[in-house]
């Protein structure tokens, strides 16, 4: 490990954090970036492993802010290890593990357990997130200080949205105390009611109860006001509507540390994909109208939205192959995140560097971790990507233990050829050169 130096040559290197974008060489020593240069490598270190990456893109490894696993408690859905396998294949070198497990990660000892399990079993970096409230119940805040000491890098209640404004105010203020970012899923539970898909004509035709846009924007507006009040580093975990983009843009214009993420699903799909009650498209937030999808894409381009995540949420067929309203929410996404995002590059909707920034340096900065960039001295977490590699998503070929993909049969262009964590190759595409 970390023994021989590594030299990757002839790649198009894109480092969104520094703005570097040129064909050149990357040198790795001791698991860290030693040099980055345009053109031919200035010299070949003795005993170096040389990788010719001609025709490939070299990007920092992806940092995914929203990944659910089943460990501990529901290992049949996903273990940390199987999630890490999927992550490596998808070019994700660090992911934030959501605390929605059994038991809930709401105690320092559990954060410590998760970190150790990840260390022992995972080929990518797993960052523990701790619950904001005990048991994700939205009532009593957890021990933020002790959780941070145990290794938690962020606070979130995962799929749950805290309904009490008073609890949120306390949580935001106390999180600011310990300089921990808060990632909050925004959904007004009362207004959402029994809704299961985007409210509109399509839900009406299907006879399904709708989720209004306001069920997202009302709590988002409240959160942004509370963030301004408390000075917390606030991240709206996932937004899905055009109105949310407007709220984020306005809040950013006011200043303060407020950011927002969007799921790759909300960028790629819309409510029509639900089709005839296809429960693999039952997501939270729901797939919205095409107008909302376009607004969110535009929000990403303009910077109102900061990060793209997979919202990787493994669910087994027992809970997924149910009548739509009774099926569980969620879709796996680690392996399709990058290729689905590249659709926006290929279509010309969002520049490549903007897309990569939203999956590398921006999420890393939100967590305040040393990742997502190719600066000298930074951990050598990077990926080699064939931007035009054509492939068709096949459920059976996924590495996750659960196969609930919303991209089954999708034709995508762009695939990870190799993934490196700390200078070690942890994934290589079968049959590919590098």
Active-site residue list: 311
Query: Smallest gap, in angstroms, from Cβ of residue 121 to other proteins?
Result: 32
CA–CA separation, 86 and 324 (whole Å): 27
Under a CB-based contact definition with an 8 Å cutoff, are residues 356 and 16 in contact? yes
Site string for other proteins, 240-279 (x = CB under 8 A): ------------------------------------xx--
Given candidates 139, 326, 370, 388, which one binds other proteins under the rule CB under 8 A?
326
DSSP tag of 396 = G
- Which among 117, 67, 58 is positioned nearest to 87, based on CA atoms? 67
Given candidates 4, 50, 54, 321, which one binds other proteins under the rule CB under 8 A?
321
Residue 315 CA: distances (Å) to CA of 100, 319, 420: 13, 7, 28
Q: Give the three-state DSSP class for 337.
A: helix
Residue 60 CA: distances (Å) to CA of 95, 145, 149: 14, 31, 28
Given candidates 47, 207, 255, 431, which one binds other proteins under the rule CB under 8 A?
207
What's phi and psi for 106, nearest 5 deg? -130, 20
Regarding 408 and contact with other proteins (CB under 8 A), the answer is: no
CA–CA separation, 341 and 337 (whole Å): 6
What are the structure tokens assigned to 333, written together? 């996404």
Smaller CB separation from other proteins, 215 or 339: 215
Q: Which stretch binds other proteins (CB under 8 A): 20-28, 76-84, 208-216, 234-242?
A: 208-216
Write down the H helix ranges in 27-164. Answer: 80-90, 108-121, 144-150
CA–CA separation, 96 and 175 (whole Å): 17
Smaller CB separation from other proteins, 43 or 323: 323
Site string for other proteins, 170-199 (x = CB under 8 A): -----------------------------x
Query: Smallest gap, in angstroms, from Cβ of residue 320 to other proteins?
Result: 11
Query: Smallest gap, in angstroms, from Cβ of residue 210 to other proteins?
Result: 6
Q: Pairing between strand 20-29 and 197-198?
A: unpaired
Smaller CB separation from other proteins, 211 or 412: 211
Regarding 20 and contact with other proteins (CB under 8 A), the answer is: no
Q: Give the three-state DSSP class for 145.
A: helix
Q: Give the three-state DSSP class for 352.
A: helix
Given candidates 39, 43, 323, 377, which one binds other proteins under the rule CB under 8 A?
323
The C-alpha torsion from 300 through 301 and 302 to 307, rounded to 10°, is: 30
- The distance from CA 128 to its chain's CA centroid, rounded to whole angstroms, is 14
Number of H helices, E strands in the chain: 14, 18
Regarding 204 and contact with other proteins (CB under 8 A), the answer is: yes
Query: Smallest gap, in angstroms, from Cβ of residue 204 to other proteins?
Result: 4
Radius of gyration of the chain (CA): 21
Binding positions for other proteins, 276-305, rule CB under 8 A: 276-277
Query: Smallest gap, in angstroms, from Cβ of residue 201 to other proteins?
Result: 3
Binding positions for other proteins, 209-228, rule CB under 8 A: 209-210
Smaller CB separation from other proteins, 191 or 413: 191
Given candidates 149, 318, 370, 388, which one binds other proteins under the rule CB under 8 A?
318
Under a CB-based contact definition with an 8 Å cutoff, are residues 34 and 16 in contact? no
Given candidates 20, 113, 324, 389, which one binds other proteins under the rule CB under 8 A?
324
Smaller CB separation from other proteins, 101 or 289: 289
Given candidates 2, 121, 163, 322, which one binds other proteins under the rule CB under 8 A?
322
CA–CA separation, 35 and 380 (whole Å): 11
Smaller CB separation from other proteins, 208 or 247: 208
DSSP tag of 288 = -
Q: Give contact residues for other proteins (rule: CB under 8 A).
A: 199-210, 276-277, 318, 321-326
């Amino acid at each position: 490990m970390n023994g021989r130096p590594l030299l990757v040559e002839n790649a198009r290197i894109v480092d969104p954090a520094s703005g570097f974008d040129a064909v050149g060489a990357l040198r790795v020593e001791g698991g860290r970036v030693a040099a980055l240069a345009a053109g031919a490598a200035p010299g070949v270190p003795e005993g170096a492993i040389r990788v010719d990456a001609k025709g490939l893109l070299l990007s920092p490894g992806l940092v995914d802010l929203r990944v659910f696993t089943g460990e501990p408690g529901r290992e049949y859905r996903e273990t940390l290890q199987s999630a890490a396998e999927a992550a490596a294949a998808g070019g994700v070198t660090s992911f934030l593990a959501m605390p929605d497990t059994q038991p809930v990660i709401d105690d320092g000892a559990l954060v410590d357990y998760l970190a150790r399990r990840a260390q022992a079993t995972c080929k990518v970096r797993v960052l523990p997130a701790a619950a904001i409230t005990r048991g994700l119940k939205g009532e009593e805040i957890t021990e933020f200080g002790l959780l941070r000491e145990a290794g938690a890098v962020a606070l979130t209640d995962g799929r749950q949205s805290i309904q009490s404004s008073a609890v949120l105010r306390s949580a935001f203020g106390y999180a600011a105390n310990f300089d921990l970012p808060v990632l909050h899923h925004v959904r007004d539970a009362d207004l959402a009611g029994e809704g299961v898909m985007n409210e509109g004509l399509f839900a009406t035709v299907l006879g399904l109860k709708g989720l209004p846009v306001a069920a997202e924007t009302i709590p988002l507006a409240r959160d942004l006001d509370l963030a301004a009040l408390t000075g917390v580093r606030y991240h709206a975990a996932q937004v899905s509507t055009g109105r949310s983009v407007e709220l984020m843009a306005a809040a950013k214009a006011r200043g303060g540390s407020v950011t927002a993420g969007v799921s790759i699903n909300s960028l790629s799909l819309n409510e029509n994909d639900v089709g005839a009650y296809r429960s693999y498209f039952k997501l939270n937030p729901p797939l919205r109208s095409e107008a909302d999808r376009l607004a969110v894409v535009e929000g990403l381009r303009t910077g109102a939205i900061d990060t793209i995540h997979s919202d990787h949420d493994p669910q087994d067929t027992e809970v997924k192959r149910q009548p739509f309203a009774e099926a569980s929410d969620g879709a796996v996404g680690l392996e399709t995140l990058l290729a689905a995002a590249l659709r926006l590059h290929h279509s010309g909707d969002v520049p490549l560097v903007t897309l990569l920034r939203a999956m590398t340096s921006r999420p890393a900065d939100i967590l305040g971790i040393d990742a997502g960039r190719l600066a000298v001295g930074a951990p050598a977490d990077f990926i080699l990507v064939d931007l035009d590699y054509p492939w068709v998503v096949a459920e059976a070929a996924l590495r996750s233990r659960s196969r609930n993909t919303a991209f089954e049969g999708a034709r995508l262009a762009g695939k990870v050829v190799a993934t490196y964590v700390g200078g070690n190759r942890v994934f290589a595409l079968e049959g590919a050169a590098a």
